[in-house]
Amino acid sequence: MKRIAIFASGNGSNAQAITEFSNHRNSHFSVALIVSDNADAGVLNRADRLETPAFVIPRKELGSADTLALLHQYQIDIIVLAGYLGLIPLTLLEVYRGKILNIHPALLPEHGGKGMYGEYVHRSVLEQGDKESGITIHIIDAEYDRGQILCQVRCRVEPNDTPQALAMRIHRLEHIYYPVVINDFVERL
Ligand code: GRF
């Protein structure tokens, strides 16, 4: 059984889906910790309801010895980014090399990179007139939205889609596939 820490900056619907998957099924991982860089993030209320330990760590302290000690204390094997908006410091990338996963709400390498998050991604897809979008789950490295892709799932872009409608369709895919891909990943470690 691997122990994961989820890093999230916002609403936390993926963090919840991943935690529920680990609670209710015969999964190969448990969610030991949730970390946010935002004291007002919805993910912290969800962590409370899910009875999962949660900590707020300012971005500039994410690479600190204290953070590493916390991850060590909770015996974290893998870090899962679920809407975490900061860049992961090199110290963490080194300690957790090849063991930090991310999800992006589009088909990378399109619509990725710095500043491409949330609604900006969906607006970019619609402005470019793409016929399909989807999700990308990948291992992270030192740059935004790069690193080995583990899974991509596609969905249609409808002619009258708004960024909000597309976001909803993509969130549904994320909640189904992210927990399963994490589970496969930890099983093969
Ligand atoms: C998701 O769309 C994910 O792809 C992106 O950030 C969003 C987080 O949503 N990286 P939520 O906070 O899990 O609801």
pLDDT of 117-173, one tens digit each?
A: 999 999 999 999 999 999 999 999 876 667 899 999 999 999 999 999 999 999 999
Neighbours of 57 (CB within 10 A): 17
What is the pLDDT, as a whole number, of residue 146? Answer: 74
Q: What is the pLDDT of residue 144?
A: 64
Half-sphere exposure of 40 (CA within 13 A, CB side): 0
> Residue with the nearest Cα to atom 5 of ligand 1?
83
Cα dist from 140 to 51, 52, 76, 110, whole Å: 28, 24, 17, 16
Pocket lined around ligand 1, Cβ cut-off 6 Å: 8, 10-15, 82-83, 103-105, 171, 174
Question: How far apart (Å, rounded) are the C-alpha atoms in residues 85 and 41?
Answer: 12
| pLDDT reported for residue 170 | 97
Type of residue at 139: I
CB 22 within 8 A of CB 34: no
Residue 180 has pLDDT above 90, yes or no: yes
Q: Are 134 and 106 in contact (CB under 8 A)?
A: yes
Phi, psi of 179 (to 5 degrees): -60, -40
Placement of tokens 């992210």 in the chain = 178
Q: Which of 171, 175, 181 to mutate to test the pocket of ligand 1 (most atoms within 8 A of CB)?
A: 171
pLDDT (tens digit per residue) in 69-110: 999 999 999 999 999 998 899 999 999 999 999 999 999 999
15-67 pLDDT, tens digit each = 999 999 999 878 999 999 999 999 999 999 999 999 999 999 999 999 999 99
Annotated catalytic, 24?
no
| Residue whose CA lies nearest to ligand 1 atom number 6 | 83
Under 8 Å between Cβ of 41 and 12: yes
- Those residues whose C-beta lies under 8 Å from the C-beta of residue 59, and which sit 6 or more positions away, are 37, 86
Closest listed residue to residue 6, CA positions, set 184, 179, 136, 185: 179
The Cβ of residue 134 has, within 10 Å, a number of other Cβ atoms equal to 23
CA distance 17 to 178: 8
